[in-house]
Every structure is written in C-alpha cells, then in structure tokens.
Amino acid sequence: MNDARAGRFHGVGVGPGDPELITLKAARLIAAADVVAYHSGVGKRSNARRIAAGLIPATAVEEELVYPVTVGTTDHPGGYEGALADFYEESAARLAAHLDAGRDVVLLAEGDPLFYGSYMYMHDRLAERYAAEIVPGVPAYAAAAVATATPLVRQTDVLTVLPGTLPEAELARRLADTDGAVIMKLGRTFPAVRRALATAGRIDHALYVERASMPEERWLPVDEVDPATVPYFSLIVVTGDSRNGRRSRTASATPAPGTGAEQSEPSAGPAELLVVGLGPGPGEWLTPEANAALASVDHVVGYRAYVDRVPQRAGLARHASGNTVEVDRARFALGLARDGERVAVVSGGDAGVFGMAAAVFEAAEDPAYADVPVRVLPGVSAVQAVAARAGAPIGADFAVVSLSDRLKPWQVVERRLRAVAEADLVLAVYNPASRSRTTQVAEARRVLLEHRGPGTVVVVGRDIGRPGETLTVTTLGDLRPETIDMKCLLLVGASATRVTPSGRVWTPRWVAS
C-alpha cells in the first residue's frame, strides 16, 4: 500500500527531440519537480535532459542514471543481462530514497515512456510501492513521418513496429507480412536491416530518418545511406501498401472485388497451382523438389504458422490466414492461379495427409477453376517423423485416423477406431486434442482398451523435429490423456509391436497365422 507521506513518481515523455513537442502536462510536472532523473550512456549527455533543460527548476535535485554498459560485452558475472538487472535495481533504490523522503520524482523519457523506453524498468520496480503517474510523449516514429511528410498507413493498412535487432530472416518475413512499418534500433544493425528490406521487396518505399525533430534532422532513401554514419537516434519508415498500390498479403475468405485475386493483370492463361508439403519442421526435411517450387512462385498461401516457415525473398507475396478456413484459402489460391499468377499452397508435413491438398481439390470442383492445373508435391509426414524417431513402429500394416470431429461426427471416429483395433493394426493418431477438444483422447483410449490390452505400446511424439521435441514410450494403460495436446502425434502399437532393451519401438513385418 502506498505511503501517503511518500513522494509521487512520474514517468514523463519529453518527445523525440524538439522541446516544443513536450506536452503541457509534462512541462508542468517537470517545472514543479523536487527531483528530475534521466538516463544516459557512459561518457554521453542525456538526450532526455537536453530536451527538457529549459524546464528543470534550479532547485531540483538531478539524478543521472548512467548505464554501466550499452552493448552486449561486459565482465559482469551475470553477463550483459546481469549488469543491466543490477543497474536497474540500484537506480530504483536511488529514486526510492527520494520518494521515501517525500520528494516528488520526475523521470524523463525520450519519446514516450512506454515505447522502448528506459522508464518502464523503473516502473516495474516502483509503481507498486509509490503513487505513479505516466505522461505520454510524442514517439520518434511520429516525428519521423512528419519529417518526411509521408503518411505511414491508410484505410485498412496495418502498421508494424519492429526492432532492427531481430534476426535478419525474421525481420524480412515480418516486413513482407505487413503494410506499413517502422524499424527502430538501428546503428550497427543497419546493414542487416537494409538487406532484410531488399529481401522483403520493401526497400523502394523505405525512408531513413535521423534525429527526427532535432536541429540536425535529415532524411533520405535507405539505399542512399552510408552505414558507417548511422547513429542510435535514427529509424526507418516504410509506407503502407495502399500508398504503394500493392495487393494485400492476407488471404481473405473469398476474394472480394478490389481485395483479392481478380486484381491481377490479365495473362495468357491459368498457371499451375502447386500444393507443397513443408515437412514437420526442420529445413533438412524439406524436399529438394519442394524447395525448388517455393523458389519459383510469386505467391505463398496457407495457414499463418506454415507461411511463416517459407523464407522471405524479394518479389514473394505472402497470404496468411487462420485455421479452419482451408477451402476459402484454396479458392483464393485458385483465383490467383487462374489469373496466371505462380502460386504455392503450403501445408505442414505432407499436404495430402490431413493437409491442404484435399481442400484445394474440393474448391477446384467449382467450374470457375476448371482450367487451373493442380500439382501436389509430397512432403515428409508427421507420422513418418515420429515413427523414425521411435524406431520402426509402422514397419507393418498401419492406419491413420484424426480425432478431430470438426468435419465428421465423433460417432464416425469411434467406429473407425473400433475397426482399426479389431483389425490389430498399428494406429497413428493425428489431431488428438486442442483447446476446444479436451475429451477425445480419453474417449479413444477407452474404445481401444475394449480390444487391446493395457500393455499395448504407445509412442507420443511432441514437436518432433523442432526445438524442445519430446518422445515418450508408454502403454495404453498408462497413457495420460491430460498430457496430450495439438502438438502431439500418437502411435498405438499392434499386438506384435515391441520395445527393445534400448527403448526402440518396432513392429515385425510378419504376422503369425
């Protein structure tokens, strides 16, 4: 509980650089402060203090919080993160001493206090103990847009703010997936950021702005910037797609006039639509054929998690959408291909195993797409990946069943489980559970135990091929349904399936008569 005798803590945004952009409220609080605090780098003046200098009263105590390190190299035993954590704790203690003495503290923040600001680390440590007030400030990217007189986004454009410290490939992907963008934290990251802009096909609409709203302000196209001259107080603005006349990257449910495939220029005829299986996750499990196909198309369409796995490159438009709209995205892709665009529809694993291939053929029954040729490229399936990790559990006859009842009644699923169990086949179980389907694994286990012994071998593969993958060998009797989620694939052995002393699972090819 806050002590009524303690001082008040204010996080005050002072804007991007021009003192005239300080708000009236911020100016009033600074002028009345008992203590004015601000961050600075080693051997550097505080830019926040420079902006607010004309408002700081002569009677105010000034607390300069000097970062011990501003790059990732330090001899601190906890490394860079440890050095900063200690610094924030020490800084909070210094400010707390003033607040406990009943003095009001104003902590200056460049731009806005909660937008990549140092203030937030003090807020985390002090706001629960003292009365705290935050005053917003004009963010640097707003001043940068004004400096270039360039509207960032219009109408339904999406604006994304990105740190330039992201890995280059990830930055390129995110730039390709948004309309307008702001890239912060440049400096040493600038060469990688420029390459990412080129890869995403966005460099022609990218403007570099340095020291926005300050007397030294300048801006120029990113391609004309000397990387050696880029200071910390710089950023890049990328204008939105409607400004540039570019087609939206997001697949709508059914392409509507003005937003979808029919905007393409007329072509000589429909192009072949490729349906590509990406495999379970690792790049080495992507087939050379699939890799070549992805390098040849101009559009990639699919569920967002799968589209995100396709490397970004210049000229590639990405159309991502959510789950459960498979036929809608198939129609969108078919519409692009019908108009002569080179398109790949992507699926995880193998596109023909509970993937997008069937949805594409379902949508292609519409006479509007009768002339669009469709080619399916196989991929490594999840059942193959889990089986390989386990040993050879599907070395003999096996069946594959999805527990999802979104497209078929549960009664059908249950009937098929009984048929597989009675036939003594190894069973691969896809889509075992989700946030909205929490009982199917327990129900499937109950049905299988009617025909299989509790000692039947079960393999649970989770995120196989991805970081943090796990493989568990258990039995049908010991299987815990509550531990299974959508990231799992189950292999339920036949009566002949066995486990070696080293824990490898395999099923003999022969069956006793």
Q: Is the pLDDT of residue 198 over 50?
A: yes
Residues 405 and 432: beta-carbon distance below 8 Å: no
- pLDDT (tens digit per residue) in 340-371: 999 999 999 999 999 999 999 999 999 999 99
Residues 339 and 267: beta-carbon distance below 8 Å: yes
Q: Is the pLDDT of residue 256 over 60?
A: no
Joined together, the tokens standing for residue 186 give: 């440049």
* 3-state secondary structure (DSSP) of residue 470: strand
pLDDT at 258: 32
pLDDT average, residue stretch 215-221:
94
Joined together, the tokens standing for residue 23 give: 């708000």
Q: Is the pLDDT of residue 126 over 90?
A: yes
pTM of the model: 0.67
pLDDT at 4: 63
Q: What average pLDDT does the structure give for the chain?
A: 90
Residues 399 and 432: beta-carbon distance below 8 Å: no
Residues 280 and 430: beta-carbon distance below 8 Å: no
- pLDDT (tens digit per residue) in 44-100: 899 999 999 999 999 999 999 999 876 656 777 778 788 889 999 999 999 999 999
pLDDT at 243: 62
What whole-number distance in Å separates Cα of residue 444 and Cα of residue 230? 61
Joined together, the tokens standing for residue 421 give: 């169990």
Strands lying side by side in the sheet with 498-499: 391-392, 505-506, 498-499
Distance linking the first and last C-alpha atoms of the chain: 78
List, as one string, the DSSP characters of 147-214: HHT-----TT--EEEEETTS-HHHHHHHHHT-SEEEEE--GGGHHHHHHHHHHTT-GGGEEEEESTTS
Residues 489 and 427: beta-carbon distance below 8 Å: no
pLDDT at 351: 96
User: Which domains does the chain show, CATH number per domain?
Assistant: 9-137 (3.40.1010.10), 141-244 (3.30.950.10), 261-377 (3.40.1010.10), 383-506 (3.30.950.10)
